[in-house]
Structure 1
Amino acid sequence: MPTNPVNIALNDVLINQAEEFIGIYDDASGRFTRVNKAGAQLLGYPSEEAFLADLDATPRLPALPPTYWEALRTEARRAGRQEVETEVSRQNGELFWGKLQLSFLEIDGRASFLVRLSEQERLHQAERDLAQSERRFEAVFSNATIGIIVCDRQGSIISANRHSQQLFGYADSELLGQKIEVLVPNAIGRQHQKLRESFNAQPSVRAMGQHSGDLQAQRKDGSVFPVEVSLSYFYEEQDLYVVSYILDITFKKNAEQALINERQRVERLNTELEQKVADRTHALLNTLEQLEQRSEELTIALAAEQELGELKSRFVSMASHEFRTPLTAVLTSATLIEKYPGGDQQDKRLKHLQRIRSSVNHLNDILEEFLSVGKIEEGKIETRPARLDMAVLLTDTVTDVQGMLKAGQSIDKQVSCQEHVWLDPSLMRKILVNLLSNAIKYSGENSVVTVRAQCSQGQLTLTVQDQGVGISDEDKEHLFERFFRARNVTNIPGTGLGLYIIAKYLELMRGTISLESKLQEGTTVTITIPYDHHSAD
Structure 2
Amino acid sequence: MLCIIGLYPDIKTSQLLIPQLINHLLSIAGIWVAVWFVIRNKFSDRLKFREQEKLDALFENATEGFLITDTKGQVVLSNPSATKQFGFTKEELIGKPVEELMPKRFKSGHSHYRNSYYVNPHSRSMGSGVELFGMRKDGTEFPIEISLSSFITEEGMFVIAFIIDITERKKDEGAIAHHVEEIQNLNAHLEQLVEKRTTELAQAIIKLERTNKNLQENISEKQHAEQALKESQRIYSAIAHNFPNGIIALLDSNLNVIFIDGNELVKLNLNPSELLNRNLTSKIPINNPDFISEKLNRVLDKKQQSFEISIVEESYFVNAVPLIDLYGDVNQLLMVWLNITERKRAEEEIKNALEKEKQLNELKSRFVNMASHEFRTPLSSILSSVTLIEKYPAEAQQEKRLKHVDRIKGAVKNMNEILNDFLSLGKLEEGKIQCKPDWVELNFIIDDVLETMNGMLKQGQRININLPELSENIFTDKNLLRNILVNLLSNAIKYSPEESVIDLKILIIKSEMIIEVTDQGIGIPKEDQVHLFERFFRANNSTNIQGTGLGLNIIKRYLELLGGTITFKSEINKGSSFFIQLPKNQN
Q: Indicate the TM-score class for this superposition, using the shorter chain for normalisation.
A: 0.3 to 0.5
Q: Which has the higher helix share?
A: 2
TM-score by length of 1: 0.44
Larger Rg: 1
TM-score by length of 2: 0.40
